[in-house]
Amino acid sequence: MTENSWTRWPSREALTREAATRPRRVLGWVTRALVLAMLLWGAFNGTHVRGWGVLVAVAAILSAAVAGWALFRTTLAHRLWPSLALYSLLMVIAVVAQAADFGVIALVLWCGCAITALERLPIAAALPVTVVALALYAAVNDDAWLTTLATTAGLALAGYVLRLDAEARGSAQRLLTQERAARAAEAESAALGERARIAREIHDVLAHSLSAQLVHLEAARLLIEGGADRDQILERVVAARGMARDGLAETRQALSALRGDMTPLEDFLSQLVGTDDGAEATISGERRPLPAEASQAVRRVAQEALTNVRKHAPGAKVRMRLEYGEHQVTLVVRDSGGSPGELTTTGGGYGLLGMRERAELLGGSLDAGPDDEGFMVTLRVPV
């Protein structure tokens, strides 16, 4: 054994009975009851003791029971010196009982000390207690020396086996506790992930819808300040109202997506560019259903990219291309460029950051920047 195994206490899970099954606990209580009954029988069965002697014997037995209970508590708390003191007290009671011709009481106490010391104390402290208790037992036992040797060896082996069983039970209890904690942490992580996904969906829907409305409302404000005619202003207001209606529809669609009920991605892109005269979409590769997170990322990036084009380069032509690869799906949104719009400076500039964050959360990437004609956004998402 290593030095640590000699001085290490059995774990608290091994010393307590909480991890034991109900049959094991019942068996433990029955065993204690039988031991106490044997001790009391040994006190009352002695024909040489009458009157006050019986009362003294019963008091000694009850004192031993209290010391045993205290020993359970001190070993459970890993308190070495109080535990050794209680073992010494029990063996002294046994010696006194033997001297008073209560042999059964003495033998039960010595055997109990030997077994429980090996079960509940560090090995370095349990061995001296066990040796002393079994030596006292062997000294007064009147059986043949071979029988006494076998009995003492069996008692020592029983105590060590009980120790191994308790440690195995304690290890199983610790593993069960760790597994439960891991499951709870996993469930909490899943809940937090789902909350983050819901928050991200709601944020993206509202950001796209409100940003689009802001484009038209800001244009209406500029037209009013510039003294434009009523029809031009009304056109922007009607467009803003349409964006609000579309935002409500997108919110409902996002909720459906969270429930796993989404329209096909190809249909969504067709509807998206269908509302814009200057946009077109092409799809290549083998079409197949995508995971919910990947599909939502493509949808939101397409919406955000189209909104940015109309905001920063009004009138530009927009070409969307969705490519289904073997291990990833790629969305490319390219505009033909144009003069900066009146609303270029509006908004907080968080659109690209949000799109890139969404892609990186899925293990993908998003590249955005000017190309030969205008501006290009490329999204790659593993599937």
- Is residue 322 within 8 Å of residue 281, measured between CB atoms? yes
How confident is residue 259, by pLDDT bands cut at 50, 70 and 90? low
Q: Which amino acid is at 216?
A: H
Position with higher pLDDT, 223 vs 258: 223
Task: Return the closest-CA partner of residue 90 out of 117, 72, 108, 64.
Answer: 64
Position with higher pLDDT, 188 vs 276: 188
Q: Is residue 379 pLDDT above 90, yes or no?
A: yes
Residue with tokens 């530009």: 316
Residues 269-279: what's their mean pLDDT? 79
Position with higher pLDDT, 179 vs 5: 179
What CA–CA distance (Å, rounded) separates 38 from 108?
8
How confident is residue 49, by pLDDT bands cut at 50, 70 and 90? low
How confident is residue 289, by pLDDT bands cut at 50, 70 and 90? confident
Six-digit token string for 294: 């990947």
Residues 212-218: what's their mean pLDDT? 80
Of the candidate ranges 130-139, 228-237, 256-265, 368-377, the one whose mean pLDDT is the lowest = 256-265
Position with higher pLDDT, 54 vs 223: 223
Query: How many Cα neighbours within 13 Å face the side chain of 52?
Result: 0
Q: What is the pTM of this model?
A: 0.48
What CA–CA distance (Å, rounded) separates 369 from 325?
23
Strand-pairing partners, residue 377, are 333, 368
Determine how β-strand 318-324 pairs with β-strand 328-335: antiparallel
> 262-383, what's its fold?
Heat Shock Protein 90 (3.30.565)
Per-chain mean pLDDT for the chain: 79
Q: Is residue 349 pLDDT above 50, yes or no?
A: no
Of the candidate ranges 38-47, 73-82, 167-176, the one whose mean pLDDT is the lowest = 38-47
What CA–CA distance (Å, rounded) separates 230 from 238?
12
Position with higher pLDDT, 326 vs 278: 326
What CA–CA distance (Å, rounded) separates 209 from 251?
9
Of the candidate ranges 68-72, 116-120, 188-192, 300-304, the one whose mean pLDDT is the lowest = 188-192
* Cα distances (Å, whole numbers) of residue 142 to 84, 86, 107, 137: 28, 27, 12, 10
Task: Return the closest-CA partner of residue 159 out of 12, 8, 10.
Answer: 10
Domain regions of the chain by residue span: 3-142, 262-383
Six-digit token string for 340: 């900066």
Express the helix, strand and coil content of the chain in percent, nearest 5 each.
70, 10, 20
Position with higher pLDDT, 359 vs 196: 359
Q: Is residue 32 pLDDT above 70, yes or no?
A: no
Q: What is the pLDDT of residue 128?
A: 92
Burial of 216 (0-12, 13-18, 19+ CB in 10 A): buried
- Is residue 90 within 8 Å of residue 67, measured between CB atoms? yes
Six-digit token string for 135: 């030596």
Distance of alpha carbon 149 from the chain centroid? 52
Task: Return the closest-CA partner of residue 332 out of 292, 374, 276.
Answer: 374
How confident is residue 150, by pLDDT bands cut at 50, 70 and 90? confident
pLDDT above 70 covers what percent of the chain?
Answer: 79
Query: How many Cα neighbours within 13 Å face the side chain of 112?
Result: 28
Position with higher pLDDT, 372 vs 22: 372
Q: Is residue 167 pLDDT above 90, yes or no?
A: no
Q: What is the pLDDT of residue 85?
A: 92
How confident is residue 42, by pLDDT bands cut at 50, 70 and 90? low
